[in-house]
Amino acid sequence: MMSAIAPPYVQNNGMVKPGVPAADRPFEKNLNIHVICKDCKEFPPNLVEEFSSGDIVCGSCGLVLGDRTIDTRSEWRTFSNDDQGNDDPSRVGDSANPLLNGNQLDTGISFSDGGSGRARDLHRAQNKVTHDKSTKSLLAAYKEIGAFCDSTNLQKNVADTAKQLYKSVDDAKAFKGKPQEVIIAGCIFIACRKCNVPRTFREIFAITKVPKKEIGRVFKALEKFFSEQGQAAVAEIVNSGSIANANAGYTSTTSTKAHDLMIRFCNNLGLTHNLIYISQELAERAAQKGTLAGRSPISSAAACIYMISHLMRQPKSAKEISAVAGVSDGTIKTAYKLLYNERTALKKHAKNEGDVDTPATEQSAITQENKTQGGAPNTGAQEGKYFTEEEIEKLAAQLALMTLAAERVKQKGDPKIIEEVERRLRNLHLSFEKAKAFSIARREQMEFSSASGSA
């Protein structure tokens, strides 16, 4: 006699109660679907799921018991077909690529056929028939753009932007007389500017080997072409009765400024973030004052870095900066002399704008080179408070506490309060660096004076 086994959970009047015997349960219809082979009638059934065909087959007699079975397993992706010896596990094709022409629904032939090699020949023949010349040209151009961007460590969004620009040129069949390499160089140059990572003509020449003059010519032509194309697109939208989006047209790129190059140059030189900020501030003031008018942005950026690095006690020689910026050390020193001669005017210009003074002593950036030659450090006849190392450490601790307090204030979300706190905190940072630089310079002057007196 078989005893009833209580199931772990049964339903009674809509409530689930554990451990109720089956005999006390009301009759319920079994809604479970049992698939049993009609010919074999084996229980439990010997079922085999063929995911390749989507069928459920009896493993004993081969009778198909179900079709169109959904495979719930994870999908496989195939990255290369070069060394495949077995079946391709991938069951889907590539996703649609908006950078290519057509609907991209061509039939593909797999490489794997048991090792006879016939499928490889069929694959090549199929590609020759289905792939048109325009698609091959686009793929070759995209491959070059990706290689150029990877070689100079540009982000993926820069490469994608350059590809979109190139496709616009290719779709319009413009610049037919221009070589493909020249168009690619111009698209990369514009893409760098649009993604806020500008590169100079010299840097684009270093990776593409296209002459700088040719890059400049094609850049101007591409800017004109994209502007006309954007205006035509906006006019078409307006004529259709729709409202043109602000991003519908093409926005011309602005010229590269010196402060745009500061971050990359300073990072390559291993300089601190505070020095980068002050160098950018000096470059902006010099541009507003016109101190380096007529100089290239690279020369201006290099001269500002050269000056501030010595003032901030992180000296970099002109040769080190020239190796990063790509200009001669003589050009850097010439531009630096212009900055040094106008240092007083730059300070007054800053005060008229309500800004704090730059952390600068009247020490020349050549001081470090004079020290190596045995000369006395020229700190100038400044008068100010002298801070010891302990006092500087205390000031740094107080500044850190004020920074934390400012972060708490920023959480309130009032724009006016946040703007005022950021301005005061920035002024405190600059004042601290100024006092620190002045104290270090005065200490070195005192040590030099004592050494000279003892001699």
Closest CA to 362 of 299, 434, 260: 434
Tokens of 291: 């101190």
pLDDT at 49: 86
Please give the chain's pLDDT, 455 residues, in tens. 344 444 444 444 544 455 555 566 677 777 777 788 888 888 888 888 887 788 889 988 888 888 887 777 776 665 555 445 555 566 666 667 778 776 666 666 766 665 567 777 887 787 777 666 777 888 889 999 999 999 888 889 999 999 999 999 988 888 888 899 999 999 999 999 888 888 888 889 989 999 999 999 999 999 988 888 877 776 776 677 666 555 555 677 777 888 888 888 888 898 888 888 888 888 888 888 888 888 888 899 999 999 888 888 888 988 999 998 888 889 999 999 888 888 887 765 444 443 434 333 334 434 444 443 333 333 333 334 556 666 676 677 777 767 776 676 666 666 667 777 777 777 777 777 777 777 776 666 666 555 545 44
Other Cβ atoms less than 10 A from the Cβ of 328: the count is 14
User: One-letter amino acid identity for 381?
Assistant: A
CATH of domain 258-375: 1.10.472.10
User: One-letter amino acid identity for 275?
Assistant: L
45 contacts: CB under 8 Å, gap ≥ 6: 34, 35, 36, 37, 58
Residue 48 belongs to what H/E stretch? strand 47-50
Q: Angle 297-311/258-269 helices, nearest 10 degrees?
A: 50
Burial, 274: exposed, middle or buried (Cβ in 10 Å; 0-12, 13-18, 19+)? middle
What is the rounded distance in angstroms from the CA atom of residue 158 to the CA atom of residue 164? 10
What is the rounded distance in angstroms from the CA atom of residue 173 to the CA atom of residue 137? 13
Torsion of CA 361, 365, 367, 373, to 10 degrees: 180
Any idea how long the chain is?
455
What is the rounded distance in angstroms from the CA atom of residue 198 to the CA atom of residue 256? 7
Tokens of 56: 């459920």
For 50, list phi and psi in degrees, rounded to 5.
Answer: -100, 95
Superfamily of the domain at 134-239: Cyclin-like (1.10.472.10)
* Residue whose structure tokens are 């940072």: 429
